[in-house]
Amino acid sequence: MKGNEAIAHAAIRYGADGYFGYPITPQSEVLETLEALMPWETTGMVVLQAESEVSSINMVYGGAATGKAVMTSSSSPGVSLMQEGISYLAASELPALIVNVMRGGPGLGTIHPSQSDYFQATKGGGHGDYHLIVLAPSTVQEMADFVALGFDLAFKYRTPSMILADGIVGQMMEKVVLPPQRPRRTAEQIKEQCPWAVTGREGSRKRNVVTSLELDSAVMEKNNERFQRTYREIEKNEVRYEARYTEDADYLIVAFGSIARICLKAIEDARKEGIKIGLVRPITLWPFPFDAIREAARNVKGILCVEINAGQMIEDVRLAVSDRVPVCHFGRMGGIVPNPQEVLDALKKDFINK
Amino acid sequence: MKDEIIIAGFGGQGVLSMGKILAYAALENNLEVTWMPSYGPEQRGGTANVTVILSDEPISSPVLDTYDTAVILNQQSLDKFEGKVKPGGVLIYDPYGIHRAPTRTDITVVSVDAMEATIEMGQAKSYNMILLGALLKMRPDVPVEAVVRGLKKALPERHHHLIPVNEAAIRRGMDLVK
Amino acid sequence: MKREDIIKPENKVYSRPRLLDDNIMHYCPGCSHGVVHKIVAEVIDELGLEEHAIGIAPVGCAVFAYNYIDCDWVEAAHGRAPALATAVSRLNPDKVVFTYQGDGDLAAIGTAETIHACTRGENIVIIMINNGIYGMTGGQMSPCTLEGAKTATTPYGRRVDLNGFPLRVGNVVSILDGTCYVTRQAVHTTAAVRKAKAAIRKAFLNARAKKGTSFVEIVGTCSSGWKMSPEKSNKWMEENMFAHYPLGDIKDTDKTE
């Protein structure tokens, strides 16, 4: 099963209430698969092809306001269009899941894989002070698993979360074990878990209003302080990463998503040559695993940050280690994916044969 | 066991679906699999290739620079991938439309007249299955029975009546390898 | 006779609708929004929909509609109300969902959302106040600004060679197969208010009966933006706006079927 298809299957099995999306390569299989599976006949999940990404995200915003588990997916240019709605979701403290299967930019760019939306995803993207929880899958299995994780974290912290995948993991097929089918939440469960939700003002309850607008600056500052407390809480509890071969490593590679797998092969090939390289793969790009990288970098001579972009995550890696360890970037752009040999050559050039 | 395979040719020749059927067959045989296409807007006529990795251990990189096995369906792909077959590896190609044949001597080069056989069989759509047969003969990673089960998964139900034709093409392809 | 002797239930001839809060409205004197808010509150109450109605507020002067009408609300981004309403309605088919928008919000930045919600025939009510101006941002030209009308961005009057023609939104959505009821009303006289209320009531009933999209355009005034007294605004509206935006039903599938 393709990564994009796994997202669709996992959404139905999570018991998602709605998906709203617009076709764009390389992620159209998400919408196509959902339409083919017709979950409205089985779980009652709503699937709708919107007229644009702008509408998709605003449908997500409307659906999320009613306490439903709703999601969308797109690829880079489409996710740029969604930034308005994502900012509103964050400001209104609404849970939702957004999937970005990145392609190369800027502009219309290329339909081929890229990781050049790292800044957009992790540093805000839209206007205002906010963060998304950003999950970076490296396997089709993680594409499936992160749907439930993304939704659960979104509801736990009342904040939108994003699966930041790339064209490789979206388009590639591999073995995947799908989670068991969960029932969709009932209207009663939603009212209990989401007392803020717009569900119709019943009985003596005061009306619920979901809004991001607050013209009183003092109140708006308080709102922002509340958002920031949530973000600190997420930073404390939800950092996720994978570390491989770091115990005896002389060098460290930091890479996320599918590129981490290419690096892993490079690392395994290098071990055959006697070069000891470790890997830290951030799974949550926000919150970023600063401590894990600092720890893994304690005894290394250099860090290579491998990303298929011009060097974005490298800024966070440098923050993690300050100036104590030299950090270099290796990446390709425009949709080109480096192979393991290129990664190893880059590491040798930067740190071993300089 | 690990086989790192590249299948390359024109879009429309069945490159991606050949890889997909092989991938499903390997899944049926309890192997780890990755199937990574070069995707593009050119659904027909452009170049297309797919990397399929079969292994009995977890697979790290789905993207490779060298391959154990190459199945080549046109000249551009031959030019691009001949040099990327690992020494001792296997290169299978259809000489139809090839004007510059492979020259390497450190790999096993197998020429399979798949187009000719396809025309003879009158089954244009099973062209890729003839080459898959040749691949399975050279690299018996999965038994033909698993491939037939894989076909059932890879093909939509309305095409299941074509499975016997495809199986025949696979066996024909196996026979074409001398 | 003292004031207290007069204020008694038996003497009551008129009161604020039950679902209209006593929050002081921020609207300018002469603005049509207050009257339309009152109608919406009355209709929701009279149809017994207070537990089922969900409003989608716009960006524009009516952004704070949620402070006045006592039902659940979501505040949309500029122009996106029909997209929100689509999802709220589809995910909660037992609710009656309405948007409340201005002509700038709906017919400029929100054109795509409007056209596609109407063409899908979402079971929602869309109420659009057409006062031909962006009121909240300080009186700029809107899609419905009349030719020759002076605004902050057309200080010498709207010129069609520069700014195009004023958009008849009701007519545009009436040709879409998903709309079941499209009407254009006003609220400048008692008779007009009665008709507008009947129209909004019909629209809510259509949504409850899942007949498709109902679109109620209310031609209204913006005394501040038009820089006219409330009285003169009404007169100017009658003489100029109604000529380009004639009142009455544009489409009613109940009657054509």
What does the domain layout of chain C look like in residue ranges?
Answer: 26-256
C73–A198 C-beta distance less than 8 A? yes
CB-CB neighbors (< 8 A) of C71 in chain A: 200-201, 207
Task: Please tell me the distance from the alpha carbon of residue C190 to that of residue C212, in angstroms, as a whole number.
Answer: 29
What are residue B37's DSSP bridge partners?
Answer: B50
Tokens representing B98 are: 């090839």
pLDDT in tens, chain C (257 residues): 888 888 888 888 888 999 999 898 999 999 999 999 999 999 999 999 999 999 999 999 999 999 999 999 999 999 999 999 999 999 999 999 999 999 999 999 999 999 999 999 999 999 999 999 999 898 999 999 999 999 999 999 999 999 999 999 999 999 999 999 999 999 999 999 999 999 999 999 999 999 999 999 999 999 999 999 999 999 999 999 999 999 999 999 998 76
> What per-residue confidence (pLDDT) applies to A307?
97
> What per-residue confidence (pLDDT) applies to A19?
98
> What per-residue confidence (pLDDT) applies to C12?
86
Rounded average pLDDT over A161-178: 95
B33–A175 C-beta distance less than 8 A? yes
What are residue A311's DSSP bridge partners?
Answer: none
Q: Is the CATH number 3.30.1280.10 carried by domain A3-187?
A: no
CATH: 3.40.50.920, 3.40.50.20, 3.40.50.720, 3.60.10.10. Which one for A241-352? 3.40.50.920
Write down how long chain B is. 178
Centre a 10 Å sphere on the Cβ of residue B115 and count the other Cβ atoms it contains: 18
> What per-residue confidence (pLDDT) applies to B40?
59
Residue of A nearest to B27 (CA): A175
Residue B86 forms contact with A (CB below 8 Å): no
Helix (H, G, I), strand (E, B) or coil at B29: coil
Task: Please tell me the distance from the alpha carbon of residue A8 to that of residue A6, in angstroms, as a whole number.
Answer: 5
Centre a 10 Å sphere on the Cβ of residue C34 and count the other Cβ atoms it contains: 17
Q: What is the pLDDT of residues A170-183, one digit of tens each?
A: 999 999 999 999 99
Domains and CATH numbers, chain B: 2-176 (3.40.920.10)
Q: What is the DSSP string of B34-93?
A: EEEE---S--SSSEEEEEEEEESS----S--SSEEEEEE-SHHHHHHHGGGEEEEEEEEE
Q: Residue A154: which pLDDT band, with cuts at 50, 70 and 90?
A: very high
pLDDT at position A229 over 60: yes
Task: Please tell me the distance from the alpha carbon of residue A338 to that of residue A107, in angstroms, as a whole number.
Answer: 22
Gap from A310 CA to chain B (nearest CA, Å): 20
> What per-residue confidence (pLDDT) applies to B41?
53
> What per-residue confidence (pLDDT) applies to C218?
98
Residue of A nearest to B65 (CA): A339
Q: What is the pLDDT of residues B82-115, one digit of tens each?
A: 999 999 999 999 999 899 999 999 999 999 999 9
Task: Please tell me the distance from the alpha carbon of residue A339 to that of residue A275, in angstroms, as a whole number.
Answer: 18
CB-CB neighbors (< 8 A) of A201 in chain C: 50-51, 70-72
State ipTM: 0.91
Contact A59, A30 (CB under 8 A): no
Count A/B contacts: CB-CB distance under 8 Å: 65
Helix (H, G, I), strand (E, B) or coil at A63: helix
> What per-residue confidence (pLDDT) applies to C7?
84
Q: Residue A96: which pLDDT band, with cuts at 50, 70 and 90?
A: very high
Q: What is the pLDDT of residues A332-344, one digit of tens each?
A: 998 889 999 999 9
Contact C149, C132 (CB under 8 A): yes
pLDDT at position B39 over 80: no
Interface test with A, best of C84, C116, C122, C123 (most A CBs within 10 A): C84
Gap from A275 CA to chain B (nearest CA, Å): 18
> What per-residue confidence (pLDDT) applies to C257?
61
pLDDT at position B42 over 60: no
Chains meeting A at 3+ CB pairs closer than 8 A?
Answer: B, C
% of chain B exceeding 70 in pLDDT? 96
CATH architecture of structural domain C26-256: 3-Layer(aba) Sandwich (3.40)
SS (H, E, C) chain C: CCHHHHCCHHHCCCCCCCCECCCCCCCCCCCCHHHHHHHHHHHHHHCCCCCCEEEEECCCHHHHHHHCECCEEEECCCCCHHHHHHHHHHHCCCCEEEEEEEHHHHHHHCHHHHHHHHHHCCCEEEEEEECCCECCCCCECCCCCCCCCCCCCCCCCCCHHHHCCCCCHHHHHHCCCCEEEEEEEECCCHHHHHHHHHHHHHHHHHHHCCCCEEEEEEECCCHHHHCCCHHHHHHHHHHHHHHHCCCEEEEEHHHHC
